């Protein structure tokens, strides 16, 4: 896919989508590779003003039905459920389907299982699942009227990674967290280079 090379940054804004025109037709090109929202040059690992460097340093796009890594996909982890413009850097129909369904999964290298994505989540269940030694945790957006859910579990192959699956689209504004990511041209994987918590 036509993604800019190392250091090219993706800027994800929870409210940046403007309208909720979702989804954009696949194949219309990656809005990020064309430059628009990610013209922020402060990336490539640099921590710009207001950017909080966090421990999330690796992202892996996963499918929504089993977490098969490797597909170069939406570089949008946390904001995926918020910004409909997710998944368009992935030109596979599968990823488009994932985006269209409001489901997205990704893998994050983090010590923390709960990533601060700007929303408030309420845990409603925990279950150990087959084929994984780690339990899966179930969360619901605690905002009244919002039915977005997410599942969080440790990667069965590498406990250093947390697999998060979002389902649904928030119907409300979030306190706001902007995620910055860039892609490693060698591996094709996306890296979170920083986050920016917006003022409420």
Q: Toward DNA, which CB reaches closer, 11 or 107?
A: 107
Query: Using the rule CB under 7 A, is 15 a contact of DNA?
Result: no
Query: Using the rule CB under 7 A, is 157 a contact of DNA?
Result: no
Contact in structure between 143 and 172 (CB atoms under 8 Å): yes
Q: Looking at 38-46, 70-78, 128-136, 154-162, which segment touches DNA (CB under 7 A)?
A: 128-136
Q: Looking at 22-30, 101-109, 114-122, 185-193, which segment touches DNA (CB under 7 A)?
A: 114-122
Tell me the chain's radius of gyration from C-alpha atoms. Answer: 16
Q: Toward DNA, which CB reaches closer, 28 or 147?
A: 147
Residues 129-147 as b or e (16 or more Cβ within 10 Å = b): eeeeebebbbbbbebeebe
Query: Using the rule CB under 7 A, is 172 a contact of DNA?
Result: no
Contact in structure between 198 and 178 (CB atoms under 8 Å): yes
Q: Which tokens belong to 78?
A: 């946390």
Query: Using the rule CB under 7 A, is 179 a contact of DNA?
Result: no
Query: Using the rule CB under 7 A, is 131 a contact of DNA?
Result: yes
Q: Toward DNA, which CB reaches closer, 52 or 129?
A: 129
Q: Toward DNA, which CB reaches closer, 19 or 131?
A: 131
Q: Which tokens belong to 117?
A: 């994505």
- 135-154 binders of DNA (CB under 7 A): 136, 138, 142, 149, 151
CA 119, CA 112: separation in Å to the nearest integer?
16
Is the Cα dihedral 42, 48, 50, 51 positive or negative?
positive
Interface residue list for DNA (CB under 7 A) = 120-127, 129-131, 136, 138, 142, 149, 151
């Amino acid at each position: 896919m036509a993604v800019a090379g190392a250091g090219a940054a993706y800027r994800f804004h929870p409210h940046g989508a403007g309208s909720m025109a979702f989804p954009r037709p696949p194949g219309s090109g990656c809005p990020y590779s064309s430059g628009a929202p990610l013209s922020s040059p402060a990336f490539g690992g640099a921590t710009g003003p207001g950017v909080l460097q966090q421990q999330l340093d690796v992202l892996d796009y996963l499918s929504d039905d089993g977490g098969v890594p490797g597909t170069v996909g939406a570089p949008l982890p946390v904001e995926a459920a918020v910004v409909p413009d997710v998944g368009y850097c992935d030109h596979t129909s599968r990823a488009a389907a994932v985006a269209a369904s409001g489901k997205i999964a990704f893998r994050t290298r983090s010590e923390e299982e709960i990533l601060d994505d700007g929303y408030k989540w309420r845990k409603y269940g925990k279950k150990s699942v087959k084929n994984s030694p780690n339990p899966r945790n179930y969360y619901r957006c605690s905002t009244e009227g919002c039915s977005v859910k997410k599942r969080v579990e440790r990667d069965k192959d590498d406990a250093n990674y947390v697999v998060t699956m979002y389902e649904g689209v928030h119907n409300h504004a979030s306190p706001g967290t902007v995620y910055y990511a860039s892609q490693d041209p060698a591996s094709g994987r996306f890296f979170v280079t920083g986050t920016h918590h917006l003022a409420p």
